[in-house]
Structure 1
Amino acid sequence: MKRDINSLLSDENIKGLSRVCKVLTNPTRIKILSLIYKKELTINQISDRLKMSNSMISNQVNYLTNVKYIECRKGSENFYRHDDEELIITINQLLKQAN
């Protein structure tokens, strides 16, 4: 049992956990991740649905793209999405804990 805990507390695992926590500390990022799960949306579409400015959404989408949480498909516009089911499960579990 002690070995399992120690392996979970490796520097690599702690850095990964810290990265996830940083992503999830921003409410706008959580909303974006939930919105674009398994569907492609543009900055304008995300902004419209969240009723937030394009610049605010763009800043958060750029951050999420840089940390490799979402993908961008370039076309006539940039389309953003992610397929990380574990991340959505984690978000839902945290939301249940918070309420």
Structure 2
Amino acid sequence: MVNLENTLDEETLFIVSQTFKALSDPTRIKILHLLSKGQKSVNEIAVQLEMLQSTVSHQLRFLKNLRLVKYRREGTSMIYSCDDEHVMGVLKQIIDHARHH
């Protein structure tokens, strides 16, 4: 008999795989790392990471769909911040791990 406590349901598997997909892209890692330091507008992210605003917006949309970032409107700007402290903790641990090798 299969122990159901040790199996993962399809929704959990999908969310986990999509989260790892998000963390597998260098651009998304840069954006998440920058947002871990504080909230930023799309323009601020683009300037600080030397990227096109369209590239940043595309990646933020991907991260927002996974609920890794959230945004609020401030005038005509969208201000983004981290929305999942669990994933940010994992990202920080991986960065710390990479820096110690």
TM-score in same-fold range (> 0.5): yes
CA separation of 1:93 and 1:3: change in aligned 2, threshold 3 A: farther
CA separation of 1:46 and 1:82: change in aligned 2, threshold 3 A: same
Structure 1's unaligned 5+ residue stretches are none
Determine the structure 1 residue equivalent to 2:91. 91
Question: How far did 1:3 drift?
Answer: 4.1
Over the aligned positions, Cα root-mean-square deviation in angstroms equals 2.3
Give TM-score scaled by structure 2 length: 0.78
Determine the structure 2 residue equivalent to 1:37. 36
Report the Cα distance in structure 2 between the residues aligned to 1:21 and 1:55, rounded to whole angstroms: 23
Determine the structure 1 residue equivalent to 2:70. 71
Question: How far did 1:5 drift?
Answer: 6.5
Does the CA-based 8 Å contact 1:37-1:84 persist in structure 2? no
Count of matched residue positions in the alignment of Structure 1 and Structure 2:
97
* SS at 1:23 equivalent: helix
CA separation of 1:38 and 1:50: change in aligned 2, threshold 3 A: closer
Identify, as 1 or 2, the structure richer in strand.
Answer: 2
Structure 2's unaligned 5+ residue stretches are none
